[in-house]
Structure 1
Amino acid sequence: MDIKNYLDSTYLKTLEQSGLSASKHNETVTSFIQEAIDHQFKLIMIRPDQVRLAKEMIVKARSKVTIGTVISFPEGTNTLEEKLAEAQVAIDNGADDLDFVCNYQAFIDGDLETVRQEVLQGTQLGLQHNKIVKWIIEIAALTEKQIIQICCLIKKTVVSNFKDEQYHLVYVKSSTGFYVTENNLPNGATIPAIIMMLENASPLSVKAAGGVRSYEEAVQMIKLGVKRIGTSSALAIVSGATSDSNY
């Protein structure tokens, strides 16, 4: 197992969230991109406004690292039109993976059609441009029953509208890593939730995001069946260390 092939090295803090100066923040973003290139991680996951920089660095280095970005991050409440427009810009700037945040609040409120339409049209846009599409369901905001239901909704929408040879290009992803929980409960991937996702999203793939901070935890997720791991601790994972990162 080459664990690097599973790692989406992730840095998604805005300048304001980083608490850094603009120059230091830019240095941090650049260093994450360079680290992904140097260590040949599967992908670098960054904010949309950083995609063009990543593309330039990866092309210059003649690297095979791919570029992912987030859409409607982290709340997922943008309109369908706004999500599609943001995704199109990311595609134009060179993104390979589009990680959309589902409107999980609409789902919780019972507005299933809003979620169905964004999954349908967002997936369609991505696949038309030969991109990988991931749907972040934000498991920390959902009950176990809701995790199962939203996985089934996404799966049914994709299976009903796309060819079976395209299924491997669509993922259900656990978390943004930015959801604020009560009592310090986990806001990222947990083993029980990942098992539920794997059981109910198949034949779509599953990405475990947030909370995977060591090689052992990453291997455990891969053995369960996840195809990708989103983590800001990619270097620690491949080095056999344990990170204290909160994502």
Structure 2
Amino acid sequence: MNINKYLDSTYLKTPEQAGISNSDTLDLVHELAQEAIDNSIYAVMIRPDYVRSVRELLNTKKSDVILGTVIGFPEGSFDLNEKLREAQRAIADGADELDFVINYEAFKKGNIETVKEEVETATSIVLREGKIIKWIIETAALTDQQIIQITQLIRDIVLDKIGEENAAKVFVKSSTGFYITPNGEPNGANEHVIKLMLDNAGPLPVKASGGVKSKEEAEKMISLGVHRIGTSSALAIIKGKTTKEGY
């Protein structure tokens, strides 16, 4: 199994979260990109502020590593126009894929029209620009029933409004990896929630993210049927190592 082609190697901490400078963070994301180049990792996933610089690096290296970024991260509650501005800037800076955090709090409150508008509008714009979009639903913040409902909602909007021919370009993604759960409970991808998503997303692909830290876990996710895995442990995974750090 070629795990490398499934991996989005991720660094999403802000300088403040990591306790380092902006220039040190830039160095880290450049190292991440170089690791992806050297190890044939499919994609790198970074904050929007660093997209332009990493695009320049990838172009200089003539690399086909995919460049992804996050939008409305990690809360998802940003105004739609704010998310769209962030997305348009990321596209202009050279992002290939945009992982939007859906407004899951609005969904939980029953503001379904808000969520529908967000998904339809953002998906249409991103696909029109020839990019891939992924919707992070933040499974740890949802009940099983809510995971099913929001996954079906995204699926139905894409099929009804965007077109089934575009389904492969719209992912449903499990987690940010930054959601704080009580009592140290899992806050990302696990077999249970991924199965719920897979059972309800098709024909949309699923991305497992948050908490995949070993080769065995990655292989399990792939065997379940996910198309991509987001992890800050990509290099350890492909080397067959297990880490307790990261997201």
TM-score per shorter chain, which class? over 0.9
Q: Deviations over 1:113-146 (max 9, x none)?
A: 1111110011001110111100000000000000
Query: 2:44: which partner in 1?
Result: 44
Return the TM-score normalized by structure 1: 0.98
CA-atom RMSD in angstroms = 0.9
For the Cα contact (< 8 Å) 1:74–1:176, is it kept in 2?
yes
Alignment match, 1:58: 58
Aligned-partner Cα distance in 1 for 2:113–2:21: 42
Identify which range, 30-39 or 218-227, moves more after superposition: 30-39
Indicate the residue corresponding to 1:218 in structure 2: 218
- Unpaired runs of 5+ residues, structure 1, are none
Separation in 2, partners of 1:96, 1:21 = 26
Question: Is the 2:29–2:54 contact (alpha carbons within 8 Å) kept by the matching residues of 1?
Answer: no
Following superposition of structure 1 onto structure 2, how do residues 1-247 of structure 1 map, counting pairs within 5 Å? 1-247=1-247
Matched residues in 1 for 2:193 and 2:218: separation?
Answer: 15
- Look up the equivalent residue of 2:55 and give its one-letter code: K
Deviates more, 1:112-121 or 1:20-29: 20-29
Structure 2: which 5+ residue stretches go unaligned? none
Give the Å deviation of 1:25: 2.4
How far the C-alpha of 1:231 sits from its partner, in A, is: 0.2
Shift of 1:164: 1.9
Output the CA distance in 2 between the equivalents of 1:74 and 1:68: 15
The TM-score normalised by the length of structure 2 is 0.98
Q: Is the 8 A contact 1:40 1:64 kept in 2?
A: no
1:163 Cα deviation after fit: 2.4
CA deviation vs aligned residue, 1:183-205 (integer Å, no higher than 9, x gap): 00011101100000000111100
The percentage of aligned residue pairs carrying the same residue is 56
Q: Which moved more, 1:158-167 or 1:131-140?
A: 158-167
* Alpha-carbon distance between aligned partners in 1 of 2:12 and 2:235, rounded to the nearest angstrom: 16
- SS of residue paired to 2:35: helix
Letter in 1 for 2:77: T
Task: Report the alpha carbon displacement of residue 32 of structure 1 after superposing the two structures with TM.
Answer: 1.1
Write out per-residue CA displacement over residues 146-185 of structure 1, whole angstroms, 9 at most, x where no aligned residue.
Answer: 0000001100100001222210000000000110000000
